[in-house]
Homo-oligomer: A and B are copies of this chain.
Amino acid sequence: MEGVNVRGAVQSYCSKLSWQKRFPISIWLPRYRLPFLLHDFIAGLTVALTVLPQGLAYASIAKLPIQYGLYSAYMGCFVYCFLGTSKDISVGPTAIMSLLVATFGKTDPKNPLLHDPAYAVLLAFFAGVVQFMLGFLHLGALTGFISAGVIAGFTSISAITIAFGQVKHILGIHFSSETFLDDLIMTFQHIKETNPWDVVIGICSIVILLALQLLKHREMSWEKDESYTPSRGQLCTWKFLWLIATGRNAVVVVVTALIAWTLQTQGLADKVTVTGPVRQGLPPFQVPDFSKPDLFSVLELGLAMIPLIGFLEAIAIGKSFARQNDYKVEPNQELIALGCCNLAGSFLSAYPVTGSFSRTAINSQSGVKSPAAGVVTGAVVILALSFLTPAFYYIPKSALASVIIVAVLKMVNYKIVLALWKLRKIELLAFAATCISSLFVGVAYGTAIGIAVDLLIMMYYIARPGIKVLEPLSSGQMARPVDVETHVQVRSTAAVVVQLANSVYYPSTEYIVDVLNEQLHEKDYTRPVIVDFSCVSGLDYTIVEGLNDALNDFKKANAELLFACTKPNVKALLQKADLDGMSIHSTVQDALRSLEES
């Protein structure tokens, strides 16, 4: 606040380094070497094998026509390649973003089971604008206000909501629902309509996916044993198994689609519920439709939650892989990159995207070297949209549901309950508030409620900072601390020391003045009190006013109130305030000595 160097700020803003930071491709591209290309190509292709089935599946979570999952899967990859600071992150549709998009949608009058895609695209546009602005203003730290407990509650309930939302597809029954409870009731109401073909395909898919997932984890552990040199044949088998295991979503989808196609050729067309016709070709380039009715009353809280949670997801993934692979991600640049991904996507009918944990892991394990791999992924998605859509017709809906269920169930975090119970039980309140309210009002509002509970808990501690009352016997000694809460009687021979053990902010003013007055209003009226500011690193005006009130109270009671400030800035502030009757000392010992001398 005090004297901003405008010229310096403008200069540093326009410097070459600053522009390079804004386009990280200008840093990694000059250092790119040819052998990287093969790695990036393989990684990009492997990620594409996952994003194709996931994209199709996630569109149904977002309650959008199935092609929108793929519309959202390529533009982000291209844009992130220029602006992203993590080599591993793969941007595209995710289960959680899809769930949030479904929350802030409006039923399409033409198809009551789905939402109008125009609102989802508008959401991508506004989320992009908000993320870009936050990044530009260096406000990435905002996500710090979502505590670990709320994040755990939010992801766990999202996973459960998403997984249970897919049970109807596994059972082959059809209805439209809004919340988790809604879904639960409707599923049981329609359970008699269960289609055994869908159930068989769904359960087999889940079993195969889990088996391949297990295989992958075991295979990874063999590879780590460096003392063992495998033969060429073994190596080939491993590579093949690795590919099957990594591309397991694609494998399941292709195999079940082949089964459905075979059934149809055998005249059993209406047995398995299939995806049905998918619009072929790329979406047109068009400005989002701002003329939609009730725009802001439909999107409402989504305008804040989608950019924030999208960024939270991406930065958590980015930081985790940056740790593993020894590089750094720049949060505010990531916000700008994500914002541009969403903005650009919204002109090509994409819904809000972010970094995907499963695909980023595949990317990293496939040996990705740079964000260029994203270009390969995006290109494959474009090819699929152009030529493969007729084949998508045969993908069984229950197979897509199994892809989702297996992907999200690992997101359930039950361990945090134990950790919070062990470390700080009050934080279970925020966790429980998030979980319970999410079940009733959806995860977006549930998370907002969880954040509010966390802030209220923090506010309580701010309004009631730690204060210790110490009773020194002389200037040479300091006796046992007495807790304010328990109101233990303080018998004093010399002075009472009130130690502000915490930083203090204005909401605690009344409390501090009350504690000081409590010391004064003990039986012995002339007992002096020393306020120890040694741990306080800053004061505000409201507290200074409160101290003034306390000084007046002490003066009226003919008692002394002394301040002991170790920190120079606190001392300077109090001296500037120049309160009537104030006596400032550097340490408690000095204050005690001045009392003894007077």
> Which of A88-96, A140-148, A248-256, A292-300 touches B?
A140-148
The answer to the question of A198 belonging to the interface, with a C-beta cut-off of 8 Å to chain B, is: no
Q: How far is the CB of A304 from chain B (nearest CB, A)?
A: 15
Contact B144 A510 (CB under 8 A): yes
A427 partner residues in chain B, CB cutoff 8 A: 540-541
Question: Which of A141, A426, A556 is most buried by chain B, counting CB atoms within 10 A of its CB?
Answer: A141
Stoichiometry, as copies per complex, reads: 2
Q: How far is the CB of A152 from chain B (nearest CB, A)?
A: 9
> Which of A8-16, A105-113, A215-223, A415-423 touches B?
A415-423
Q: How far is the CA of A511 from the CA of B466 in the complex (A)?
A: 23
Closest residue on chain B to residue A320 by CB atoms? B549
Contact A576 B149 (CB under 8 A): no
A144 partner residues in chain B, CB cutoff 8 A: 463, 506-511
Contact B538 A466 (CB under 8 A): yes
> Which of A280-288, A354-362, A497-505 touches B?
A497-505
A537 partner residues in chain B, CB cutoff 8 A: 465-466, 501-502, 535
- CB proximity to B under 8 Å, residues A322-342: 323, 326, 331
Q: How far is the CA of A464 from the CA of B537 in the complex (A)?
A: 12
A148 partner residues in chain B, CB cutoff 8 A: 506, 541-542, 545
Q: How far is the CA of A419 from the CA of B577 in the complex (A)?
A: 8
Q: How far is the CA of A326 from the CA of B521 in the complex (A)?
A: 11
A506 partner residues in chain B, CB cutoff 8 A: 144-145, 147-148, 454, 458
Q: Check A423/B509 contact, CB under 8 A, given A144-B463, A541-B147, A552-B323.
A: no
> Chain A 492-536 against B: per-residue CB contact (8 Å), 1 yes, 0 no?
000000000111011111110000000000000000000000010
Q: How far is the CA of A191 from the CA of B268 in the complex (A)?
A: 88
- CB proximity to B under 8 Å, residues A557-579: 567, 573, 576-577
Q: How far is the CA of A148 from the CA of B462 in the complex (A)?
A: 16
* Cβ-neighbour of A542 out of B147, B422, B462, B465 (below 8 A): B147
* Cβ-neighbour of A462 out of B149, B458, B501 (below 8 A): B458
Q: How far is the CB of A559 from chain B (nearest CB, A)?
A: 14
Q: Check A1/B425 contact, CB under 8 A, given A501-B537, A506-B144.
A: yes
The answer to the question of A480 belonging to the interface, with a C-beta cut-off of 8 Å to chain B, is: no
The answer to the question of A203 belonging to the interface, with a C-beta cut-off of 8 Å to chain B, is: no
Nearest first, the 7 closest Cβ-Cβ pairs linking A and B are A144-B507, A466-B537, A535-B535, A148-B542, A502-B503, A147-B506, A147-B542
25 cross-chain CB contacts under 8 A: A1-B425, A1-B426, A2-B425, A141-B511, A144-B463, A144-B510, A145-B459, A145-B463, A147-B506, A147-B540, A323-B556, A331-B510, A424-B539, A424-B540, A424-B541, A427-B540, A462-B462, A465-B503, A465-B537, A501-B535, A501-B537, A501-B567, A502-B503, A502-B537, A535-B535
